[in-house]
Structure 1
Amino acid sequence: MKALVLSGGSGTRLRPFTHTSPKQLVPVANKPVLYYVLEAIAESGITEVGIVVGDTAAEIREAVGDGSRFGLDVTYLPQAAPLGLAHAVLIAREFLGDDDFVMYLGDNFVVGGISSLVEEFAQSRPDAQILLTRVPDPTAFGVAELDDSGRVVGLEEKPAKPKSDLALVGIYLFTPAVHEAVRSIVPSDRGELEITHALQWLIDHGRDVRSTTISGYWKDTGNVADMLEVNRSVLEGIEPATEGTVDAATELIGRVRIEAGAEVRGSRIVGPAVIGPGTVITGSYVGPYTSIAENCRIEDSEIEFSIVLRDSHLDGVRRVQASLIGRNVTVTPAPRVPAGNRLILGDHSKVQILT
């Protein structure tokens, strides 16, 4: 069995970060989302992985290399434009051959991995197996319709009037039967070859398409709010460790990981939180669910429930929260501007002036 990981796409919902870096490489708990995907694939026993790449191919190649650090053998599959998930299957035909495969969107995060799913698929081998989860707004996803027995009878891509609240999670398992399906469909109104259309083609032609509804944690890390939520989820499971330097005037509370080469002086850190290597924190407060990457400086500042990417600097800022701060960013207080108030007040007035 092989794996196909989709790491193209423009990541418009994560701009401005994705103007300069692939969305799959934005870190949660100081590790790129794509790494969690590759680790889950390796844990399932799959070793051959094709990574579909687009405009950000160079950054993905630099981050993943040949895959050996994950115990994988990686092949890169260029996609000229993000023309849909089914198009990714189409261009990966030679790599996939006649093997079964799991297709995994590189910006999706599933707690617990995919080992049990892969094992179940290998034993029963339906033509396709999809993962579903209930969501409050199905219009933003591919949506599945099930009959009374739980069999998949219909699929729609981002429907205006969803027939259910069951959204497709970005993990799919296929036999080679899917190759005929992706060759047989036409682009949607969005100009893309939709995987939902390929799945519907299989259903319409009597093929066995099964589903598994998951109740565990899943997120499509396509926007800032979801990135912060995934970061929170991962940090809840970290083990505390102090590999860097922490002085006697610093207070560490809860699950805090200070990575090698980091230095914390005269500060208070409340976990779960992780401080990356080479980062220096002085006279500051770092609150729960915060990841600070490598080589940052946090001075006389307060931050919580946030992600700070490498080489960034916060100096003298109060209560930064629910924030995603990119690489090599500097945040400082704005200079105070002298201001005057000209008042013309009648008798018995009461005025409050913001100072």
Structure 2
Amino acid sequence: MSDVDAVVLVGGKGTRLRPLTLSTAKPMLPTAGVPMLAHLLSRIQAVGIRHVVLGTSYLAETFASHFGDGSALGLELEYVVETEPLGTGGGIRNVAPYLRGSEVMVFNSDVLAGTDLAAVVGTHRETEADVTLHLVRVPDPRAFGCVPTDADGRVQAFLEKTDDPPTDQINAGCYVFRREVVDSIPAGRPVSVERETFPGLLEAGARVSGHVDATYWRDLGTPFDLVDGSADLVLGRAPSDALPGPIGQALILKDATVASDATLLGGSTVGAGAVVGAGARLDGALLFDGAVVGEGAVVERSVLGAGARVEAGATVSDSVVGDRAVIGERCELRDGMRVWPDVVLPAGGVRFSAGV
């Protein structure tokens, strides 16, 4: 696989993940103790791919600042900045001058998956495809566009979301391209692979193959998917070689302080320098660096941004607390509440809730 290039699209602004992405690029959000992108890079390295090109845009400088040239990961990383949004296809075409091999494996950066990457490339080669898509079977495909295939594994169509999907196969955000197909994508303008490139290939009679499986897969596009994906990594449900500690009910990072009688469950992560007070309870919680959970407070299925504080006796459930925000004593946050950075909610048993 050293002859295959990898391209990772990391340019999106992550608007669905606000307020977490107001100051952090989506792929750099802490996920089970490391940036989201680190889990994908570990899987790329493990399969033997060495040359990786990152297509960046929003907060582009943060990627190189953290990962450098990739040598610490056993990779060679290059960075290409989009000066204007180009979409998935345009982003792939934009990095074409940096590619070296005859095959290119492309990844969406906000997907956590467990598929066998070598097997996806194997399907591409065995079927002599122009493009191969990883398709994953999901229990409820109604929230996604569906991709039916025939008995020979040829993709038949790209269908929009529907309440009556004809297949349980969805686009999993991982593709293998012949280099010539990448070069054929129009340059210098926005292009969607889902709406333009792939349908155009079908119309032209190209071979578009599907590699279908039912492995672990999760789109980390919302804060609540981020929380669940992080918990799955800590619990060992999702695979990653980048986890900075053993799998289990909780992951506690360097210099964090956890009271001896605190309860940590559900794949919670306690970020570096974070504090969990006496009698506090975390269940499926994601605490960024420096977050504080006071005595007797409860945080469940929620994320606390860097330096955020949940004061004594407060409850945060299915909610998002931005960087440095403060949830006052005995407050309750529930039902999809999002608290913006630096906001201070008063003490006194007030309940806040909001749909997302």
Q: How does the TM-score come out when normalised to structure 1?
A: 0.79
How many Å separate the matches in 2 of 1:226 and 1:255? 18
What amino acid is aligned across from residue 257 of structure 2 in structure 1?
A: E
Of the three residues 11, 23, 37, the one matched with 2:40 is 37
1:169 aligns with 2:164: no
Task: Pick which of 47-56 and 130-139 moved more.
Answer: 130-139
In structure 1, runs of 5+ residues without a counterpart are: 245-253, 338-355
How many Å separate the matches in 2 of 1:326 and 1:27? 13
- Rate the CA distance shift 1:157–1:182 in 2: closer, same or farther, 3 A: farther
Q: Deviations over 1:263-318 (max 9, x none)?
A: 22253223233323322222132333223233222221221222333322221242
Of the three residues 311, 318, 334, the one matched with 1:315 is 311
Task: Pick which of 18-27 and 100-109 moved more.
Answer: 18-27
Matches within 5 A, 1:271-286: 271=265, 272-286=267-281
How many Å separate the matches in 2 of 1:256 and 1:158? 36
Q: Deviations over 1:42-96 (max 9, x none)?
A: 1111111110011220222223222222211111111122221110121111112
What amino acid is aligned across from residue 269 of structure 2 in structure 1?
A: V
**Superposed displacement of residue 180, structure 1:** 5.0
Matches within 5 A, 1:206-355: 206-237=205-236, 255-271=249-265, 272-300=267-295, 301-333=297-329, 334-336=346-348
- Rate the CA distance shift 1:111–1:147 in 2: closer, same or farther, 3 A: closer
Aligned residues: 320
Larger Rg: 1
- Rate the CA distance shift 1:54–1:164 in 2: closer, same or farther, 3 A: same
How many Å separate the matches in 1 of 2:250 and 2:225? 22
How many Å separate the matches in 2 of 1:224 and 1:269? 23
Matches within 5 A, 1:144-223: 144-147=147-150, 149-156=152-159, 164-179=167-182, 181-183=184-186, 192-223=191-222
What residue number does 1:54 align with? 57
SS at match of 2:173: strand
How many Å separate the matches in 2 of 1:157 and 1:58? 35
What residue number does 1:118 align with? 121
Partners of 2:305 and 2:321 within 8 A in 1: yes
SS at match of 1:287: strand
- Rate the CA distance shift 1:125–1:65 in 2: closer, same or farther, 3 A: farther
How many Å separate the matches in 1 of 2:182 and 2:12? 22
What amino acid is aligned across from residue 206 of structure 1 in structure 2?
A: G
Q: Deviations over 1:186-218 (max 9, x none)?
A: 98xxx6433442122223333221102221221
**Superposed displacement of residue 31, structure 1:** 1.9
How many Å separate the matches in 2 of 1:125 and 1:45? 21
SS at match of 1:143: coil
1:104 aligns with 2:107: yes
- Rate the CA distance shift 1:95–1:150 in 2: closer, same or farther, 3 A: same
How many Å separate the matches in 2 of 1:311 and 1:119? 45
What amino acid is aligned across from residue 315 of structure 1 in structure 2?
A: E
1:90 aligns with 2:93: yes
Partners of 1:181 and 1:202 within 8 A in 2: no
Partners of 2:14 and 2:25 within 8 A in 1: yes
What amino acid is aligned across from residue 275 of structure 2 in structure 1?
A: V
How many Å separate the matches in 2 of 1:308 and 1:113? 33
Partners of 1:308 and 1:324 within 8 A in 2: yes
- Rate the CA distance shift 1:285–1:122 in 2: closer, same or farther, 3 A: farther
How many Å separate the matches in 2 of 1:317 and 1:182? 56
**Superposed displacement of residue 33, structure 1:** 1.3
**Superposed displacement of residue 224, structure 1:** 2.1
What amino acid is aligned across from residue 197 of structure 1 in structure 2?
A: E
How many Å separate the matches in 2 of 1:132 and 1:329? 40
SS at match of 2:171: strand
Task: Pick which of 294-303 and 150-159 moved more.
Answer: 150-159
How many Å separate the matches in 2 of 1:16 and 1:306? 13
How many Å separate the matches in 2 of 1:286 and 1:121? 47
Q: In percent, how many aligned pairs have the same letter?
A: 25
**Superposed displacement of residue 162, structure 1:** 5.8
Q: Deviations over 1:130-162 (max 9, x none)?
A: 011245775754432323554212224667986
How many Å separate the matches in 1 of 2:109 and 2:142? 21
- Rate the CA distance shift 1:194–1:127 in 2: closer, same or farther, 3 A: closer
SS at match of 2:120: helix
SS at match of 2:157: strand
**Superposed displacement of residue 122, structure 1:** 5.0
How many Å separate the matches in 2 of 1:314 and 1:110? 32
Q: Please, what is the CA RMSD of the aligned residues?
A: 3.0
Partners of 2:227 and 2:286 within 8 A in 1: no
What amino acid is aligned across from residue 308 of structure 1 in structure 2?
A: L
